[in-house]
């Protein structure tokens, strides 16, 4: 098992404490006490609690950007690229659910300096996704009458709210939820000529299964 760095331990501790008591109610003293470190160790890694909150966000947005670019480079069709990127985007809500919850609840506390960096990184992710949508429209895999900007924002907006209701102990895994999202998105934007390729990524309904309401 790889030993965590002090910086990683501080981030992990802050996620727990911020989620429990709120950003403004947690002091640097309490964070270092929680992990048995010193204030000197904290300020060696972060110049302020504000920077620490930014780092909580950066952990997961950097992961999404990296994984999305790798998905883009790995696959050779817009449909495959889109499906791989959807898996990456939903997976982050499973792997970094606590980080994302803290960030969305406390993001208004960030200074303009860090907010600007965050917006830049979010734009970077959306640009990768929109590029895939536009390439799919050029190849006639995705419907051209749908504005790529709106399609992109709709996908991001739908998935972003997952943090509000997804439970790791719930009846559906994130992989199963991702299949549903992927099916909905593909059925909305794929053209008739590309439906054969898209079908392999859609939800497979077993004959014995009955549709019903799942309490998430």
For 37, 42, 188, the CA distances from 5, given in Å and listed in that order, are: 12, 12, 44
pLDDT at residue 38 greater than cutoff 80: yes
Residue pLDDT, tens place only, 69-92: 999 999 999 999 999 999 999 988
Whole-number Cα distances in Å, 211 to 94, 186, 194, 201: 25, 20, 27, 19
* Tens of pLDDT, residues 120-174: 988 999 999 999 999 999 999 999 999 999 999 999 999 988 888 888 888 888 9
What pLDDT is recorded for position 210?
42
- The helix/strand/coil state of 202 is coil
pLDDT score at 1: 59
pLDDT band at residue 93 under the 50/70/90 scheme? confident
pLDDT at 106: 82
Q: Are 18 and 30 in contact (CB under 8 A)?
A: no
What confidence score (pLDDT) does residue 3 get? 80
Instruction: Give the separation between CA 39 and CA 67, rounded to whole angstroms.
Output: 34
pTM metric for this prediction = 0.84
Helix (H) or strand (E) holding 195: helix 195-199
pLDDT of residue 142: 98
Query: Cβ–Cβ contacts within 10 Å for residue 12, how many?
Result: 17
Does residue 105 have a pLDDT over 90?
A: no
The SS3 assignment for 1 reads coil
Continuous H helices in 75-111? 78-95, 97-106
pLDDT at 161: 86
How confident is the model at residue 111, as a pLDDT? 81
Percentages (nearest 5) of helix, strand, coil residues in the chain:
75, 0, 25
Which pLDDT tens digit goes with each residue over 171-204? 888 999 999 999 999 999 999 999 999 999 998 7
Helix (H, G, I), strand (E, B) or coil at 47: coil
């Amino acid at each position: 098992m790889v030993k965590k760095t002090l910086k990683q331990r501080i981030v992990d501790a802050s996620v727990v404490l911020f989620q429990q008591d709120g950003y403004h109610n947690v002091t640097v003293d309490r964070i270092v006490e929680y992990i048995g470190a010193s204030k000197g160790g904290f300020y060696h890694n972060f110049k302020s609690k504000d920077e620490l909150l930014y780092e909580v966000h950066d952990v997961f947005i950097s992961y999404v950007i990296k994984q999305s670019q790798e998905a883009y480079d790995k696959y050779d069709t817009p449909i495959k690229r889109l499906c791989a990127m959807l898996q990456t985007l939903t997976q982050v809500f499973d792997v970094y659910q606590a980080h994302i919850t803290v960030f969305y609840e406390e993001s208004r506390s960030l200074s303009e300096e860090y907010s600007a960096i965050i917006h830049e990184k979010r734009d970077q992710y959306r640009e990768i996704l929109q590029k895939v949508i536009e390439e799919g429209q050029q190849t006639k895999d995705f419907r051209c009458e749908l504005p790529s900007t709106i399609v992109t924002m709709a996908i991001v907006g739908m998935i972003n709210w997952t943090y509000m209701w997804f439970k790791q102990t719930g009846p559906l895994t994130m992989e199963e939820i991702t299949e549903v999202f992927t099916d909905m998105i593909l059925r909305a934007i794929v053209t008739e000529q590309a439906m054969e390729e898209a079908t392999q990524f859609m939800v497979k309904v077993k004959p014995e299964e009955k549709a019903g309401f799942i309490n998430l």
